[in-house]
Amino acid sequence: MKLLIQNGTVVDPKSQKVFHSDVLTEDDRIVKISENISPEEAGEGTELLDAAGCYVMPGFIDLHVHFRDPGLEYKETLATGGAAAAHGGVTTVCAMPNTKPVIDTKEKVEEVHNRAKTESPIHVIQLGAVTKGQKGEELADIQGMAEAGCMAISEDGKSVMNASLYRKGMKEAKKAGLRIFAHCEDITMVEGGVMNADAKAEALGLKGITNSVEDVIVARDILLAKETGVRLHLCHCSTKDSVEMIRLAKEEGLPVTGEVCPHHFTLSTDDIVEDDGNYKMNPPLRSKEDVEALKQGLKDGIMDVISTDHAPHGEKEKNCSMKKAAFGIVGLETSAALTYTELVDTGILTILQMAEKMSYNPAKILGLEEKGAVEEGTTADLVIFDPKAEYEIDKETFCSKGKNTPFDGRKVKGKVRCTISDGRVVYQEA
């Protein structure tokens, strides 16, 4: 199968170039990048895609999603999550292991990978848990999961509170060539909190979560990574001090990277006007000061990645008070537009930096040398992105089963027109 993408502007974060060019793919590879590739040159049977006025970017790689499959399929499945990813320009995801049962063995990783090949339109990398059942008591089968291709382990949804056990897990991960993806939260300090601890929480009569709940574990995990040498990726950072600690770790040359989610650089606690479960997420929306620190961290290259923490829930689990609602927000279908609107269109990031943080850097963190770039010979994972399109987010158009978003009705700029995975069109705007 051949695809010819014509008239687009290529954004290649690897070469740091933005240039007008056509792109020809054959099977699952990019085979030619050149101006004015004719259909005749491409060959008979080539599908033509017009990218006039659009960027042709490497497919986005989301290091942090929850597909809920197996066991929680009423929230999401490999099929619906994969469709949501394709809708948002995402061609590879890392699926967190807090499913039912927890992904904590070689066999469970293999099962998801095998199913994803036929059920999902995009690439799914299943991550494994650090401990059995995510109970924090005994290490999971780290070596076995590495053999099954999990690439990283994570206790996502909670931290391993036993530092000694966690250190042993880090050592095993390093030995197996895996990364640690860390959800940084001291669960003993949450104390029933549901949103950021500030005046807004008090006004709404809701229990707050302080920045230190995240910060103390960020500090601990960086120190443990320093000792063990494991590659540490800090998920969904939300505080100014997390940014500062990652900066210091990088200055010391430690193998530490950090991610920010669009909801954390777009919204602050000031945007919560009522007790609405759709604003309940973990970590919570923080202060404007934290938001500005996250934006600056992204601009300065301290924060490496933009991921979503896509966390779908059933309607009854979110359409209620934050006191009762589940933590989480969907994000796969809004991340590109929010990133472009809030960061690129405002001049905080360039379009190259957007591609770096959503494609190239995630690929580097995972060691995926054939992804994250637009160059001949690499995997034909691509997104055609229209920077001029303006519209309102409509949750009813989501492919995800989850509609839990505070962004419904929000005006944004930048739209995914087409997503290509392994040289196949997996989403195209009607």
Angle at 251 between CA 249 and CA 256, to 5 degrees: 35
- In the residue annotation, 309 being an active-site residue is answered as yes
Catalytic residue (choose from 309, 381, 386, 422)? 309
- Give the whole-angstrom CA distance, residue 74 versus residue 167: 35
- Give the whole-angstrom CA distance, residue 408 versus residue 410: 6
DSSP 136-183: SSSB--HHHHHHTT--EEE-TTS----HHHHHHHHHHHHHHT-EEEE-
| Preceding peptide of 101 cis, ω within 30° | yes
Per the CB < 8 A criterion, the answer to whether 86 and 406 are in contact is no
Residue 330 gets the label, from left (phi > 0), alpha (psi -120 to 50) or beta, of beta
- Give the whole-angstrom CA distance, residue 349 versus residue 343: 5
- Give the whole-angstrom CA distance, residue 396 versus residue 345: 26
- Give the whole-angstrom CA distance, residue 186 versus residue 217: 6
Q: How far is CA 276 from the centre of its chain?
A: 24
Tokens standing for 325?
């609602």
Q: How, if at all, do strands 195-196 and 208-209 pair?
A: parallel
Neighbours of 339 (CB within 10 A): 26
Find, among 116, 28, 29, the residue nearest to 69 by Cα.
116
- Give the whole-angstrom CA distance, residue 179 versus residue 107: 19
Answer positive or negative: Cα dihedral of 337, 300, 233, 313.
negative
| Preceding peptide of 284 cis, ω within 30° | no
- Give the whole-angstrom CA distance, residue 306 versus residue 180: 17
Catalytic residues: 309
